[in-house]
Amino acid sequence: MSANRWLATGNYYSSYKEEQRIFSTHSDRLIFTLFLLSLFIWPLFLDLSSKYMLVIDNILVAIIAVLGLNLLTGFAGLISIGHAAFVGVGAYTVASFSTVIGDNHVFLTHWWPLVILIAGLVGAVFGAFVGLPSFRLRHLYLLMATLSFQIIFQWAINFSSFFNQGQTIFVPRVYWLTGKVMRKEHYLFWYYVILVVIVLFGFGIRNLLRTRHGRCLVAVRDNDRAADAMGMHPGLTKVYAFALSGFLAGVAGALHAYLYRGVGFESFTLHHSIVYLAMAIVGGMGTLNGSFWGPAAIQILELQVENLAEKAGHLFPSNMNLATALRPLTFGLVIVLFLMFEPRGIANWWRIVRSYVKLWPFRY
């Protein structure tokens, strides 16, 4: 590394400790700090409508869920198409408290950070349980096991009177230092809460990947037999990958429940599991920043499809729902195009641009 880390234009490491730094140069740290600061202060200067604030909040919740999925599928190499069920476990944990102790209980309104943490822990327990078949199963067979959990979750919610047979279970408004969070500041409040959670999880996962436990995930993904020969336990590594993924998904589900002030079955179906997997693919499997690009790209795409359908609606018969037809078409087309032409996702575009800017005006 250059003696002056402000002027470094490339990465030259002379030790493993230098290579494991979160920020290679002081410029990287400064740019990231300014970007993070801008995320916190922009709502003070730009007043968005509730519709667009909800879209942004949905993107942030999806980022937390995809962080967990990328940890499981991208870094540990374990395919899962039941991730929406793990998110649903966290959401229905909050709904269960609302059903048992009442939707205006102080535990839900004042101790909501603890409720979110408990929802994450419940998601981790379910994740570890679903991960037990990974001791014996791999690839397509493990995928079928996660699909089975998704189907069982849907059946349990739909046919259980405790969960109101999939109908909406209401969740109360929360209290903060300034009092009850009312409707006017609801989405802005949860924007800041979810953003703080993302920052904590982002740094947590980045530091996890620097430790032996994070390297175990990558080693098991690349070759579990070689990892076993090197003294790692592939089975336990896979189970704790499922547990970590379930924890993040559970937290995302609890935040979803508080954000929407209710929990309904339609938000945690198999379709949503496929959407989460698509977000990870579009963003970039096995990359931390891909977990941020993917949800943003897919959510913005869906919003633009709706806007396009509204503008083009007068060109088609009134009984034709253009948005319903365009959404799966564009969704499938984007996934196929990324798998064919950019399997490493948007994160690879970011890597190329970042390298070009860092090395400019040199070509190499």
Q: Where are the domains of the chain?
A: 48-359
For residues 166 and 262, give the distance between their C-alpha atoms in angstroms, rounded to a whole number: 11
For residues 153 and 282, give the distance between their C-alpha atoms in angstroms, rounded to a whole number: 26
Q: What is the pLDDT of residue 220?
A: 86
Going by C-alpha positions, the residue among 287, 227, 292 that lies closest to residue 62 is 292
Q: Which residues of 211-221 are buried (b: 16+ CB within 10 A; e: fewer)?
A: eeebebbebbb
DSSP string, 255-309: HHHHHHTEE-GGGSSHHHHHHHHHHHHHH-TT-TTHHHHHHHHHHHHHHHHHHHH
Q: Mark the ranges of the chain whose per-residue pLDDT is less than 70.
A: 1-12, 312-325, 361-364
Q: What is the pLDDT of residue 313?
A: 63
Residues 110 and 175 sit within 8 Å (Cβ to Cβ): yes
One-letter amino acid of 209 = L
Q: What is the pLDDT of residue 202?
A: 92
For residues 229 and 171, give the distance between their C-alpha atoms in angstroms, rounded to a whole number: 49
Q: What is the pLDDT of residue 5?
A: 61
Q: What is the pLDDT of residue 6?
A: 59
Q: What is the pTM of this model?
A: 0.90
Going by C-alpha positions, the residue among 150, 145, 137 that lies closest to residue 83 is 150
Class of domain 48-359 as given by CATH: mainly alpha
Q: What is the pLDDT of residue 4?
A: 60
